[in-house]
């Protein structure tokens, strides 16, 4: 029995799904799958080899029922038409109950087993009466899911400043916190309007090359170090990490740029590093990480978590 990695749902979940005995699928094939949530539409990504599965951090599991038929496509199109009506209904009922929440999106599962309501709120919301009212009006099970601003961008954003589709809606399955230290180490502008993504938080791409910058920086004398070079003695003022160069103030007060390979001896190591991992910096990063992870998820207690 072949297994495939399939992406599904508006939140772009990724899971491992078993196909029927003789069924075979190719990349980008649309299939009907059964998940813990019910029947859904998914896109085949690849065969679930051991290497591919090991790269998934928290995959879901299920089965592939069939390839999408013409009738399935028509049903999906009809369902998308109903979604706008459902959005208007949910927004109206939330307003009538004056609940402290902002509707983000509504997801109607293919099989009709449930409607998932994604919303923003700064506090926990007692939505029991809302669920009863919506279940009665929409005639299906209602699941409420509280999300954060990064997930809101994942659902609604289209393109980033780079001109490409936003990463959270293309290839990112996890969105770990990004700290200002990452921007400082890479000498990115600290203008919030230029380093913030569509969600208003620091751009996820600041994390992509951060490990490389840290590794390269470890090979350089820390800022503040007293060094001996072929030009004489001096003190390290700054780093050009990717170029492997140092800005050095010589004993005659000249500032010169040298290659790190020109350092003959480090007389005294400095404590400062551009965006370095000082104890104070680590405490600040923990606080920033805590702020980022404040985006929690609130859902029905009886709802399986994907």
- Of 159-173, 251-265, 285-299, the one with minimum mean pLDDT is 285-299
* pLDDT confidence of residue 160: 87
pLDDT-above-70 percentage for the chain: 89
The CATH number of domain 73-147 is 3.30.300: yes
Model confidence at 275, pLDDT cuts 50, 70, 90, reads: very low
Residue with tokens 């700054």: 238
Q: Collect all residues with Cβ–Cβ distance below 8 Å to 35 and sequence separation of at least 6.
A: 8, 13, 15, 60, 62, 306
Q: Collect all residues with Cβ–Cβ distance below 8 Å to 264 and sequence separation of at least 6.
A: 227, 228, 229, 230
Does residue 300 have a pLDDT over 50?
no
* pLDDT confidence of residue 192: 86
Residue environment code for 180-215, b if the CB has 16+ CB neighbours within 10 A, otherwise e? bbbbbbbebeeeeeebebbbebbbbbbbeebeebbe
Are 146 and 296 a contacting pair, CB within 8 Å?
yes
* pLDDT confidence of residue 188: 82
**Quick one: average pLDDT of 279-301?**
45
* pLDDT confidence of residue 106: 95
C-alpha span between 90 and 257 (Å, rounded): 62
Q: Say which DSSP state 261 is in.
A: G
* pLDDT confidence of residue 67: 96
C-alpha span between 33 and 21 (Å, rounded): 15
Question: Tell me: the pLDDT tens digits for 63-115?
Answer: 999 999 999 999 999 888 889 899 999 999 999 999 999 999 999 999 888 99
User: Could you check whether 73-147 and 214-268 share the same CATH topology?
Assistant: no
Q: Collect all residues with Cβ–Cβ distance below 8 Å to 125 and sequence separation of at least 6.
A: 99, 100, 101, 119, 144, 146, 298
Q: Where are the domains of the chain?
A: 3-67, 73-147, 152-208, 214-268
Model confidence at 221, pLDDT cuts 50, 70, 90, reads: very high
* pLDDT confidence of residue 41: 96
- Of 44-53, 117-126, 273-282, the one with minimum mean pLDDT is 273-282
Q: Collect all residues with Cβ–Cβ distance below 8 Å to 156 and sequence separation of at least 6.
A: 104, 105
Q: Rg for the chain (alpha carbons), in Å?
A: 26
Pairwise pLDDT comparison (176 vs 24), residue with the higher score = 24
* pLDDT confidence of residue 272: 63
Question: Tell me: the pLDDT tens digits for 105-146?
Answer: 999 999 888 999 999 999 889 999 999 999 999 999 999 999
- Centre a 10 Å sphere on the Cβ of residue 268 and count the other Cβ atoms it contains: 10
Does residue 290 have a pLDDT over 60?
no
Average pLDDT, the chain: 87
Model confidence at 281, pLDDT cuts 50, 70, 90, reads: very low
**CATH class of the domain whose range is 214-268:** mainly beta
* pLDDT confidence of residue 279: 41
Residue with tokens 């502008």: 189
| Angle subtended by helix axes 70-97 and 128-138, to nearest 10 | 140
């Amino acid at each position: 029995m072949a297994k495939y990695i399939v992406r599904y749902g508006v939140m772009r979940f990724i899971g491992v799904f078993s196909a029927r005995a003789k069924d075979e699928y190719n990349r980008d094939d649309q299939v009907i799958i059964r998940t813990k949530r019910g029947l859904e539409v998914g896109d085949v990504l690849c065969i679930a080899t051991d290497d591919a599965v090991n790269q998934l951090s928290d995959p879901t599991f299920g089965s592939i029922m069939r390839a999408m038929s013409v009738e399935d496509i028509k049903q999906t199109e009809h369902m998308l038409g109903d979604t706008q009506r459902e959005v208007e209904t949910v927004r109206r009922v939330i307003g009538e109950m004056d609940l402290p929440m902002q509707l983000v999106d509504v997801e109607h599962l293919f099989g009709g087993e449930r409607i998932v309501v994604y919303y923003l709120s700064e506090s926990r919301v007692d939505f029991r009466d809302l669920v009863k009212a919506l279940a009665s009006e929409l005639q299906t099970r209602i699941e409420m899911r509280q999300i954060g601003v990064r997930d809101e961008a994942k659902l609604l954003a289209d393109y980033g400043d780079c001109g490409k589709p936003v990463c959270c809606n293309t290839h990112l399955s996890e969105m770990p916190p990004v700290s200002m230290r990452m921007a400082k180490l890479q000498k990115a502008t600290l203008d919030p309007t230029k380093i913030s993504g569509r969600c208003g938080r620091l751009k996820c791409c600041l994390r992509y090359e951060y490990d490389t910058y840290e590794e390269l920086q470890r090979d350089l004398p820390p800022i503040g170090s007293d060094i001996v070079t072929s030009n004489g003695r001096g003190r390290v003022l700054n780093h050009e990490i990717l170029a492997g160069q140092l800005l050095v103030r010589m004993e005659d007060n000249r500032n010169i740029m040298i290659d790190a390979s020109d350092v003959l001896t480090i007389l005294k190591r400095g404590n400062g590093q551009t965006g370095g991992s000082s104890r104070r910096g680590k405490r600040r990063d923990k606080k920033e990480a805590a702020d980022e992870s404040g985006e929690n998820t609130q859902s029905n207690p009886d709802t399986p978590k994907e």
